[in-house]
Amino acid sequence: MQENVNMEKVVFTLLKRISALIHADRCSLFMYRQRNGIGELATRLFNVNAQAQLDDCVVPPDSEIVYPLDMGIVGHVAQTKKTVNVKNNQYFSSFVDELTEYKTRNILATPILNGKDMVAVIMALNKTTGPHFTEQDEDVRLKHNSIHTQSTVTRHIFLFHAF
C-alpha cells in the first residue's frame, strides 16, 4: 500500500509539472485495465493543476469515471497509442463535462506505454494562455513524458492496477 501512495505522489508531481509547463487548466490520469477481457480506462488522478493537493485529486475506486475504449478522446488515444491535440470541443464526448459541470474547450492527450502495451493516458485540458495547445506544447509534453515515464512511471505504474 505504501508503494501505491509513493507512486501516486510521483505521478501527481509529474502531472503538476506538465500542467505548469504547458499552461493547462488541469490534467488527469486514466489507467488502462481489462475487465472480463474488455479494455477500459478509469480515472486515477483527476483535475490536477499546478496548485493542486494530492488528496483532492486521487480518485477512489468507488468514484471512478470509466471510459470504454470506443468512447471519447481518451479512448481514441488508448486505441491508436498516439498523442491527440484537439483544438476545439467538437470531437470529444461531453459526458464528463456534464457530470463535473466543467467546460472543456481543448485537449492534449498522450498515451503512456510500456513497450507496446497501453498503461495509461494523460489528458491536459484547456490551455490557459492561448486559444488551444500548440505543437510546442506537444513537444514539451512528449519530452517530459518520455523522460519521466521511461525512468519511473512505467516501471511502477502497474501498482495502480491493484485498486
Each residue's pLDDT tens digit, 120-152: 999 999 999 999 999 999 887 666 555 445 444
Nearest to 87 by CA among 23, 130, 54: 130
Nearest to 32 by CA among 84, 80, 72, 67: 67
CB 94 within 8 A of CB 67: no
Each residue's pLDDT tens digit, 99-114: 888 889 999 999 988 8
Extract the C-alpha cell encoding 66: 470509466
| C-alpha distance from residue 18 to each of 7, 50, 54, 143, 145 (Å) | 17, 8, 15, 10, 9
What does residue 46 show for φ and ψ, rounded to 5 degrees? -135, 140
The average pLDDT across 11-36 equals: 93
Q: Which CATH number is correct for 2-162, 3.30.450.40, 1.10.10.10, 3.40.50.720, 3.40.50.300?
A: 3.30.450.40
pTM here? 0.85
